[in-house]
Amino acid sequence: MFTKAIVRRPCKNMTQGITSANLGTPDYDNAVKQHKQYIEALKNCGVEVTVLEANENYPDSVFVEDVALLTPHCAIITNPGAETRKGEIAEMRKILSKFYKNIEEIKSPGTAEAGDIMMVGSHFFIGLSARTNKEGANQIISILNKYGMTGSTETLEKVLHLKTGMSYLENNNLALCGEFLTKPEFQKFNILKVDDDESYSTNCIWVNGTVIVPKGFPKSKATIKKAGYKTIEVDVSEFRKLDGGLSCLSLRF
């Protein structure tokens, strides 16, 4: 169960955020509205939400998930692979010290973004991507081992972050799409296949028995409901324009 979440309000400079999406420039006012609805959805799932103020110095700072990996035993401050995001970690370290006694960090030349890391119980799948390198993944695995947890790596081919293409929904259920569907290590899960035309919705989040899904993907929503979950739809179209999904917008712990 999660009891808490951390989010950061979008900043006006989000229009300068990194993107490969080709969906146009995000509309700041609409992003603010959508972000408020996202916070409401988290609260409806029973978590207490810490809302950080917008930080105009970092256009992508709304995507808080990438700068820390929160585990039941420690917080790991990452070292983002994107140059313009590296500075986001300083403030996050201060904030997490209010919640965690054990705070670890990834050091250069290791890079990691936690959008590349998926928690399945005490095991963590780590995507090797343009943002998370082998050295970063090895540092994460060593830290996890120190606290009695484990990690393993996956090489990404097409997607930005590991969780762009998969979400663990607890109870052995794994939403998967594209390049991940056939990977042998995921065959032990009950795979909830996401069709290519709804691939954006693979990034959804389990929060205390409810799955928050992006608005506008009816097939995925039906698949998740059929697997026994209550769903809440949230429109995150403005964040999609910056390659961001639902999970990227919060840290849940």
Residue 35 is among the residues annotated as catalytic for this protein:
no
- Indicate which residue of 11, 161, 177, 204 is catalytic: 161
By CB under 6 A, residue 136 contacts ligand CIR: no
Characterize the bridge pairing of strands 190-193 and 173-176: parallel
Characterize the bridge pairing of strands 75-77 and 68-70: antiparallel
CA 229 to chain centre: 20
Q: Strand ranges (DSSP E) for 9-67? A: 48-52
Of the ranges 50-58, 101-109, 150-158, 236-244, which one interacts with ligand CIR (CB under 6 A)? Answer: 236-244
* Min separation Cβ 82 and ligand CIR, Å: 5
By CB under 6 A, residue 248 contacts ligand CIR: yes
Residue 248 is among the residues annotated as catalytic for this protein:
yes
Q: Which helix (H) or strand (E) holds 44?
A: helix 28-44
The Cα 141–Cα 197 span in angstroms is 34
By CB under 6 A, residue 26 contacts ligand CIR: no
Task: Number of residues interacting with ligand CIR: please give it, by CB under 6 A.
Answer: 19
By CB under 6 A, residue 200 contacts ligand CIR: no
β-sheet bridge partners, residue 231: 211
Q: Which helix (H) or strand (E) holds 70?
A: strand 68-70
DSSP of 174-209: EEE-GGGTT-GGGTTSEEEE--GGGGGGG--EEETT
By CB under 6 A, residue 110 contacts ligand CIR: no
* Min separation Cβ 81 and ligand CIR, Å: 9
Give the count of beta carbons closer than 10 Å to the beta carbon of residue 169: 20
By CB under 6 A, residue 18 contacts ligand CIR: yes
Of the ranges 3-11, 32-40, 90-98, 240-248, which one interacts with ligand CIR (CB under 6 A)? Answer: 240-248
Binding mask 56-95 for ligand CIR (x = CB under 6 A): ----x--x-xx---------------x--x----------
Q: Which residues are designated catalytic?
A: 161, 248
Binding site for ligand CIR (CB under 6 A): 17-19, 60, 63, 65-66, 82, 85, 115, 160-161, 163-164, 242-245, 248
